[in-house]
Structure 1
Amino acid sequence: METTQSFFSGFTPYDLLFLGEAALRTLWISVLSISIGTVLGAIFGWILYEGRWIATLTIAPVLDIFRSVPLIIQLVLFYNFAPIVGLNLDPFASGLVILTIYTAALVANVARGGIEAVGQPMRRAARSLGMTYWQDLRHVVLPIGGRAVFPSWVGVALGVMKDSALVSVLGYVELLKASQILITRTQEPFLILTVAGAFYFALSYPLSRYATHLENRWAQ
């Protein structure tokens, strides 16, 4: 009697560990891109606010491109064209570069909104007390404007964390790519996607709760 050989295997604890490692890779690329992108975005936002028409003609169009073009197209184009200019980057580095610039483009408008949220009378009052321009930014604009746009920044951070799944198209084995690999082998899409969704929730929920905690403290 002929026996039928199956090429598929069930979901095992090692597969759960594989997904956990992929979740850590997702967290790593997300934390780096959000952190660096936030710093760059704050600088770009300040330039947009202070640069007026010069920034409108130079930086603003570039940031609009990164905000408007779908992220997956940016990733594929950069990964394929970077070697032409001598940048031989692996999938992680390519994904990090684009995610960082994408984050910076989103944060730039948030940062500019935060600066604009601080009224000119308050800023003039700070200057009349003897504060320098940079002291005004640090002690007046940053605390007040930062609180005003903090929920928007949290939304950007959570969005970038989820959008990091698109780096899988470059071959970087993050959570979504790992899920696809396991689905192909186990043929258990519902179970694996449920576990992957739980990992995404575990990565995002602490940031969301901590943001809510900070907002409640500031409201007191």
Structure 2
Amino acid sequence: MFSTSLTWNDLQFLLQGAWVTILLTLASIAIGTLMGVVCGLLRALLPRATLPLAWLLDVFRSVPLLIQFVLFNAFKSIAGLNISAFSVACVVLGIYAAAFCTEIVRSGVLSVPLNLRRASRSLGLSYTQDLRYIVLPMATRVAFPGWLNLVLSVMKDTALVMWIGIVELLRASQTIVTRIQEPLLVLCIAGLIYYVMSLVVARLGARLESRWQEND
């Protein structure tokens, strides 16, 4: 007969951790997308002038995220910055997401055929109008699948914030495992919650893509 020491309070604790994971994902993706769009446009339109920016973003893409968390948290303590661990996590995850989002946006902008842009200019559109009405709409559709994958990746990467003291879903599950010593059950439940959250994001993205196709 199956028996467990897992209680309803434990499940609520896991859901609270899942909510922290969602908040971290939303905040970091908002930061990363805003920075990524700006940097991506600069990298696509001014490639040579933005080479230093490209090198800087390469650092954030190359250095493991865990090291970035530890270093930024240590810098916060050394500099005496009075910011919460949650804010540190949002900043680090946001910059990390921006480094990848920049390349996603850049590739989307560069995917727009140059002849199409020349045609729009020959029809009288200004440079700004060309970007707004031709380049950005087409680039968005190309870049959206990559951006959606970035969202799912960042959601899983939030598990690393446990190393700076934030109780998100994985940290909550480990706390419960330590108490009741049932790792298989608890981690299966945590994995199911991650799956449900990822499935919701993927389904919303697929629905948005289908609407774009219907409007074509």
TM range (shorter): over 0.9
Deviation at 1:211, TM superposition (A): 1.6
1:83 and 1:89 in contact (8 A); partners too = no
Q: Matches of 2:168 and 2:129 in 1, distance apart?
A: 42
1:212 aligns with 2:197: no
1:40 aligns with 2:35: yes
Unaligned runs of 5+ in 2: none
Total equivalences in the alignment: 211
Q: Which residue matches 1:158? A: 152
Alignment partner for residue 19 of structure 2, among 20, 24, 36? 24
SS in 2 for 1:104: helix
Q: Compute the RMSD of aligned alpha carbons.
A: 1.3
1:60 aligns with 2:54: yes
Alignment partner for residue 202 of structure 1, among 177, 196, 203? 196
Matches within 5 A, 1:41-120: 41-56=36-51, 58-120=52-114
Alignment partner for residue 179 of structure 2, among 169, 176, 185? 185
TM-score by length of 2: 0.93
Q: Matches of 1:176 and 1:89 in 2, distance apart?
A: 23
Q: Which residue matches 1:4? A: none
Unaligned runs of 5+ in 1: 1-8
Question: For each residue in 1:67-117, what CA deviation from the matched residue of structure 2 results, as whole angstroms up to 9, or x when unmatched?
Answer: 001000000110011232332322111111100000000000000001101
1:48 and 1:55 in contact (8 A); partners too = yes
SS in 2 for 1:25: helix
Q: Matches of 2:91 and 2:110 in 1, distance apart?
A: 29
TM-score by length of 1: 0.92
Matching residue's letter, 2:71: L
SS in 2 for 1:53: coil
Q: Matches of 1:108 and 1:50 in 2, distance apart?
A: 12
Q: Matches of 2:212 and 2:130 in 1, distance apart?
A: 20
Alignment partner for residue 131 of structure 1, among 101, 122, 125? 125
Matches within 5 A, 1:135-154: 135-154=129-148
Of residues 30-39 and 103-112 in structure 1, the stretch that sits farther from structure 2 once superposed is 30-39
Q: Matches of 1:116 and 1:136 in 2, distance apart?
A: 14
